[in-house]
Amino acid sequence: MGLIDERGMAAVIFDMDGTLIDSHASVERAWQRLAAAMEIDYATAAFQHGVPSINNIRAIAPGIPEADALAWNRIHLQMEIEDTEGVVALDGALPLLRALESAQIPWAIATGCQYGLGEARQQAAGIPRPEVFVMFGDYAVGKPAPEPFLVAAQKLGVPPSATVVVEDAPSGVAAGLAAGALVVAVAETHDRSELGAAHFIVEDLHQLLDLLLG
């Protein structure tokens, strides 16, 4: 018996970047280009994976006027939308999603990507678009706040406590826990020691499929 049946879970909510798709190279290129344009040393910038871009811009440029932060955010968004080279589905993502659909288990994506970027990466990676695709703009406060997963659960029509949240980043794990979900971390982008707050940790999406469905 898998975790979903064992715990009576009603749906699965996935983070996207680093969880279902590999966009690392594209993300790095865009942030390096933006940091250079802002005349910031990217190597020492306070960048965090898994949080909305605008939050990162405020972090790497403390005290920046909000109008300037928003302008740089628009530039960064366009950089990312235009650069999807190397964005691919992670190994095991497509079999996992097909298995959930075959088992008639609803699933959603809740990402820090903004509109335009979320779709660009989803299409580039070749993963199916879920009926519930929550992006920054559907919520106001990003991870580690719980709002992305609360909005996804609401759109799925299930209580957050009946959802399994799948994440790869500490901020996403914190968000899932704050939402009251059962949190499974995939150690694709972060060391297990950084993900220890999750209820379960798996090495890859093949292990996740076994954990969820047995």
Boundary of a domain, candidates 82, 98, 124: 82
Q: Above 90 in pLDDT, residue 180?
A: yes
Q: What is the pLDDT of residues 102-132, one digit of tens each?
A: 999 999 999 999 899 999 999 999 999 999 9
Instruction: Give the pLDDT confidence score for residue 12 in this predicted structure.
Output: 98
Instruction: Confirm whether 41 is a catalytic residue.
Output: no
Cβ partners under 8 Å of residue 5, min gap 6: 214
Instruction: Give the pLDDT confidence score for residue 213 in this predicted structure.
Output: 96
143 plus 172 within the same structural domain: yes
181 plus 170 within the same structural domain: yes
Could you tell me the residue range of the domain that residue 65 belongs to? 24-82
115 plus 181 within the same structural domain: yes
Q: What is the pLDDT of residues 28-39, one digit of tens each?
A: 898 899 989 999
Query: What's the rounded Cα separation, in Å, for the pair 11 and 91?
Result: 22
16 plus 118 within the same structural domain: yes
54 plus 68 within the same structural domain: yes
105 plus 196 within the same structural domain: yes
Which of the residues 5, 17, 204, 210 is marked catalytic? 17
Most confident option among 19-33, 44-58, 87-101: 87-101
For 139, which DSSP code? B
Whether the ω angle into residue 159 lies within 30 degrees of 0, i.e. cis, is no
Q: What is the mean pLDDT of the chain?
A: 93
147 plus 170 within the same structural domain: yes
151 plus 181 within the same structural domain: yes
75 plus 178 within the same structural domain: no
115 plus 141 within the same structural domain: yes
Which of the residues 5, 15, 41, 91 is marked catalytic? 15
Instruction: Give the pLDDT confidence score for residue 93 in this predicted structure.
Output: 98
71 plus 174 within the same structural domain: no
95 plus 157 within the same structural domain: yes
Instruction: Confirm whether 17 is a catalytic residue.
Output: yes
CATH of the domain at 175: 3.40.50.1000
Compute the CA torsion angle 142, 146, 148, 154 (nearest 10 deg). -150
Q: Above 70 in pLDDT, residue 194?
A: yes
Q: How many domains does the chain have?
A: 2
